Amino acid sequence: MVQIETAEGGGVVRPFDESAGELHPPFGPLHVVTAIQPDPEPGSVSHARMRVLDRYLHTAGIRSMPAVGSSFAGDHSEAGDHSEDSRAVFGLTDDQARDLGVRFGQVAVFAWAGPHWSLLACAGDRQSDRGWRWEPSCFQ
């Protein structure tokens, strides 16, 4: 699952085996990309990797916003010192998102478009599609 918060509101997107009847992500189509490696590493290294990703996106004129990935149970996230700090990135094709993931050492990225929440392998065409459910934050 991925948590996305903006000044306009936010929430959590959760993959589901079947579509929850939702056809349009609330922020529009996007990809979720990170620069952090899956093995635990010191916080300063993780933050430096994310600064490089942010600088790349800014320089390339690619719109993004912070996102935090976690396990379905919510116990694997940035808040628990397991870095899954990510960026919701707009305006990329699946191939461009895969290339960005490879550039930052990732095995896969997420794509969220239409009725699909997809896991895209970065080094190939492998893709796994599921339905999704959006759970708005309580303060919306």
Domains identified in the chain, total number: 1
Do 38 and 48 contact (CB within 8 A), yes or no? no
- Amino acid 121: pLDDT: 97
- Amino acid 79: pLDDT: 43
pTM of the model: 0.86
- Amino acid 19: pLDDT: 62
- Amino acid 12: pLDDT: 93
Q: How far apart are CA 4 and CA 13, in angstroms?
A: 8
What's the per-residue H, E or C state across 29-93? CEEEECCCCCCCCCHHHHHHHHHHHHHHHHHCCCCEEEEEECCCCCCCCHHHCCCCEEEEECCCC
**CA torsion through residues 125, 131, 137, 140, sign:** positive
Domain of residue 108: give its range.
2-136
Do 12 and 140 contact (CB within 8 A), yes or no? no
- Amino acid 83: pLDDT: 40
Tokens of 115: 């009725």
- Amino acid 108: pLDDT: 95
Q: What is the pLDDT along the chain (140 residues), one digit of tens a residue?
A: 899 988 888 999 998 877 666 788 999 999 999 998 766 677 788 889 999 999 999 999 999 999 998 765 544 444 444 547 999 999 999 999 999 999 999 999 999 999 999 999 999 999 999 999 999 987 54
The number of beta carbons lying within 10 Å of the beta carbon of residue 116 is 18
Of 131, 120, 114, 118, the closest CA to residue 17 belongs to 131
- Amino acid 139: pLDDT: 55
